[in-house]
Amino acid sequence: MGGGGSDGSDGGGGGLGSVKNALGMGGDDGTDRERIDAAERLTQRYADALQERLEERGKWDDVRASAKS
């Protein structure tokens, strides 16, 4: 097959675009970027709170040492 069809990489059509849209990864309205940014902020807040809790309990150095090995 040849031709000038879309490969779907823009999320607008084609096989890949349909899969992206079904997974909520398509569209050009910026919603996905907003959701990703919000998820990253939430993840960072969780990581900060976890680190603070581990530091308070004297466990932070153990976790860091464990991560190195």
pLDDT in tens, 2-58: 555 444 444 455 667 777 777 776 666 667 888 889 999 999 999 999 999 999 999
Listing DSSP states for 42-65 in one string gives HHHHHHHHHHHHHHHTT-HHHHHH
Q: Which has more confidence, 4 or 61?
A: 61
What integer pLDDT is reported at residue 18 of this predicted model? Answer: 72
Three-state SS for 25? coil
pLDDT at 59: 96
Element (H, E) at 26: none
Number of alpha helices (DSSP H) and beta strands (DSSP E) in the chain? 3, 0
**Distance (Å, whole) CA 39 – CA 33:** 10
* pLDDT reported for residue 19: 73
